[in-house]
Chains A and B, each alone.
Chain A
């Protein structure tokens, strides 16, 4: 993000990846019991925040998760969450 130096930016990205990874783990562990609206909110949030931290891939996945939640497609969401997990692990 404009206005932050490299060190600040790296710190922010690291914190974002760690936080999002923890959230993701919680969701994946309880995926069948989580309300669809909570999944939509998660998708919506990472859609907005991914780009903010320089992760366009997260924004794309967030958009797809939100859209899949709107059509109640849990199977698709599971696949997208797995993709997100792989991506985040590659950044740790």
Chain B
């Protein structure tokens, strides 16, 4: 049954059994119009035929994988929420999916609850996108703010004080860092030098290198500022700064900092993992870090530390 007035949701899976289960589920939700595709090429054809609210896609498919399909879809329709379905427990697929712009992933078999939850996240995501587009601040403004970020210039010398600029800053950080579809998880990991150079970053959403570099400077400035001017948690061995509904947790090493952007709560195990990651990174790169001149090519594969940390914490919270 197809009703052009209802929001369309596309589901692509080469396995008939999964398509059939999705079909049964959607019979319970007449407010949505499910369109099924049996392979990525079929999905691409159907995507051209009408507008969709979101897409579910299997990862493991012959000829073209769901990850390749995701890459193509996000190039054509960057705002389309895509949820990947996989029976693989390999977290690397999930990280790759997030890098390619997936909103979330569901482990197979999908259930009524998980599919419905994903639809609701997509609705929230689209609403968030709409509100961001109406109040978006461009990168030039952002750069100016980072360059001029200081307690004095922002009139924030007194603890707890607020200003329009500060609120604006928080909004930008939210816009750049938070992936609305992934509430209650790790969103971004930034490995920074003490001077704020981004050594590596791993993001659940799309943060390009320019944004990452700016955010690196931003984190260092925010951390320095917050430590002095605004109350920050001192109960933890790690600094944890809250901005609205998200947190930035900093682990400080001898030569570097690890900034973890997350929503929800991180348990002690996660905090330990963050610190352990930083220690392991510094241990492996000690000789370079001691005399580092900012040349990233001299650093080893620092991304692997973030990938392992992301995998560990994300798996724990799944």
Contacts and interface: CB of A to CB of B under 8 A. Distances in A.
B15 A49 contact: yes
Nearest to A15: B20
Contact of B17 (A2, A4, A20, A41): A20
Contact of A4 (B14, B24, B110): B24
B107 to A, nearest CB: 10
Given A4-B24, A16-B20, A45-B15, A52 B108 contact: yes
Interface in B13-55: 14-18, 20-21, 24-25, 28
Given A2-B111, A48-B87, A51-B109, A37 B17 contact: no
A15 B19 CA distance: 12
Interface in A1-36: 1-4, 8, 12, 15-16, 19-20, 23
Interface in A40-67: 41, 44-49, 51-53
B112 interface: yes
Nearest to A49: B17
Given A4-B24, A8-B24, A12-B24, A45 B112 contact: no
B113 interface: yes
Contacts of A4: 24, 112
Given A37-B62, A44-B87, A49-B15, A2 B20 contact: no
B60 interface: yes
B113 A3 contact: yes
Interface in B86-115: 87, 108-113
B134 to A, nearest CB: 36
Nearest to B108: A48
Interface residues of B, number: 19
B109 A49 contact: yes
A19 B112 contact: no
Contacts of A53: 17, 21
B183 to A, nearest CB: 22
- Between B18, B62, B109, B111, the greatest number of chain A beta carbons within 10 A of the residue's beta carbon is seen for B109
A3 B17 contact: no
A1 B25 CA distance: 10
A3 B15 contact: no
A12 B20 contact: yes
A3 B17 CA distance: 17
B24 A45 contact: no
A42 to B, nearest CB: 10
Contacts of B25: 3
Contacts of A1: 21, 109, 111-112
A23 B112 CA distance: 26
Interface of B: 14-18, 20-21, 24-25, 28, 60, 62, 87, 108-113
Interface of A: 1-4, 8, 12, 15-16, 19-20, 23, 37, 41, 44-49, 51-53
6 contacts: A1-B109, A3-B113, A12-B20, A23-B16, A37-B62, A45-B14
Given A12-B21, A15-B20, A48-B108, 17 more contacts: A3-B25, A3-B28, A3-B113, A4-B24, A16-B17, A19-B20, A20-B17, A37-B62, A45-B17, A46-B17, A47-B87, A48-B18, A48-B109, A49-B21, A52-B17, A52-B18, A52-B110
